[in-house]
Structure 1
């Protein structure tokens, strides 16, 4: 699919990935952003796009923004894994229900192309590096279970309703304008107490971190280049070939803030229930399409930390 002169909808366009995608896509396309601002930041939305504040779990709002003039949908909206973690049923029902309703509405008005922001959490604790065809998927968090269920619904529409689906399983995506995750958490803690930094777990959790700018570029590249003959459901891992430990993130954030705090740990090998301690995705399939990240995991963390500290 060519991404020029298209009418595109970005759901969750006030969030980290959604706002970056909207900014990149609006340079050559007509972009509509919809977000209920429950997780997103309104100031993150590019000035050159149309914005509708709406909740996509509401059918009337869904009908307003999903219309027949759309060429494709970029579905980034979600009840985030850092939100409603104490109410897993609501998180699961909200995410899966919203995606099902969105797809049904698209089918009704004849819009049949969708890019979906999934997550590495669908794999659970899998061997590393984890390829896209790893099975069975055994998520260990409600967020991962919801993403896996949403992928299944997308597969139904790809194979039974003639949709084209681009399904992206992300590593940890980092960047500016983001209020959740380990980097903003460390910055907030150190701003409150520069002497001591409390780290969830043992600090040895180690994952792949990808900068949001490169995430957006990779999504666009796959949509332009994924071969049609591979079928209607195109699943790609997005990440880096390297990993960064939580201790290393603490070092980078402290350095960017000009601090040298004492680290204190809550203990255990997980930061929270459902946390995957070690994660690195295989990105060989992405490489076959001719795209690879320029930034390592450490450099992605460094760039995001620098941006967030300077905000």
Structure 2
């Protein structure tokens, strides 16, 4: 059985929907940002907290856990600056409680949902796993701390782990049963679609004078189902003994500008967006795109969904009005 921590959240719930096709799954989530309705009915659901050792003991003593997938981080960059304690408490301290429980029950396979925010503002066009990590906010630092903990746990306790770093998860499941629903919403694609549905008055584009082809920032977007596939491949690599420790970027290798995203949303929906040009935001790099060559060569993963595919699936989900 696989334990998915944070399996009621956006990315976690999409992973669970794919994982239950081949494995028994137990989901642990405190529903602080996740949704009970998003958890596939074939999975066992436990409402609890990864920082609560009693909740963890109950799961590990009841089920035979082969591996743990961890999606239960707080992930708002701005909030992490205002309230760093929340991020270090949940993303680091609570994760240590989870790892200690795994050690107690001799479960040593760990797949960690990390972030390309660990790189900070890189000076390279294409981010590889060799790019220097230099996070610029508590969120990125909290994720990098856990990555460093995993290195030490592997050496000292024989843990096996795979770290997956990525930027912008987007899109929705092909069934439109689950999709992206955050409060507040901070991600570009759902914000644009909400405006096209009349739920927002306008869309703000922060900066149009960057050193990019159309002057707007370029970012890496990956369909959430592509991310789910990567996590399953990582799990299989650990359980089969193909890998014991590894860190991989998950990127589309291209990057899409803010203007391209908005125009593609307009194309998919047949609606025109109300766009307001605004000043640059402090700390926004012109381009953040990750290379996935390493995971392609080692595990055979690459992004399959185009930007249009991503937006079409998200639009189908938004039209449901969930």
TM-score, normalized by length of structure 2? 0.85
C-alpha offsets along residues 18-75 of structure 1, whole Å, 9 cap, x if unaligned?
1111111111211000111111122111011100111222222222223472111011
CA drift of 1:113 comes to 0.5
Equivalenced residues, count:
299
Aligned to 1:162: 158
Cα-Cα RMSD = 2.3
CA drift of 1:133 comes to 1.9
Aligned to 1:178: 180
Q: Does 1:48 align with 2:42?
A: yes
- Out of 276, 285, 288, which is 1:279 matched to? 288
Aligned to 1:3: none
Aligned to 1:250: 262
Distance 2:201 2:153 in 1: 53
Task: Tell me, yes or no, if the aligned pair for 1:253 and 1:305 is still in contact at 8 Å.
Answer: no
Distance 1:300 1:125 in 2: 28
CA drift of 1:194 comes to 6.8
SS in 1 for 2:3: strand
> Which range is displaced more, 31-40 or 60-69?
60-69
Q: Which runs of 5+ in 2 are unaligned?
A: 173-178, 209-214
Distance 1:97 1:304 in 2: 36
Q: Does 1:15 align with 2:24?
A: no
Q: Which runs of 5+ in 1 are unaligned?
A: 1-6
SS in 2 for 1:52: strand
Distance 1:106 1:244 in 2: 39
Q: Does 1:95 align with 2:97?
A: no
Aligned to 2:212: none
Aligned to 1:233: 245
Q: Does 1:145 align with 2:102?
A: no
Aligned to 1:60: 54
- CA distance 1:66–1:128, change in 2 (3 Å): farther
CA drift of 1:82 comes to 5.8
TM-score, normalized by length of structure 1? 0.87
Task: Tell me, yes or no, if the aligned pair for 2:166 and 2:250 is still in contact at 8 Å.
Answer: yes
Task: Tell me, yes or no, if the aligned pair for 1:33 and 1:51 is still in contact at 8 Å.
Answer: yes
- Out of 28, 31, 34, which is 1:34 matched to? 28
CA drift of 1:229 comes to 7.5
- Out of 89, 109, 130, which is 2:127 matched to? 130
Distance 1:106 1:276 in 2: 38
Task: Tell me, yes or no, if the aligned pair for 2:171 and 2:311 is still in contact at 8 Å.
Answer: no
Task: Tell me, yes or no, if the aligned pair for 1:194 and 1:259 is still in contact at 8 Å.
Answer: no
Task: Tell me, yes or no, if the aligned pair for 2:68 and 2:111 is still in contact at 8 Å.
Answer: yes
Task: Tell me, yes or no, if the aligned pair for 1:199 and 1:266 is still in contact at 8 Å.
Answer: yes
Aligned to 1:198: 204
Distance 1:151 1:157 in 2: 10
Distance 2:71 2:200 in 1: 35
SS in 1 for 2:114: strand
SS in 2 for 1:66: helix
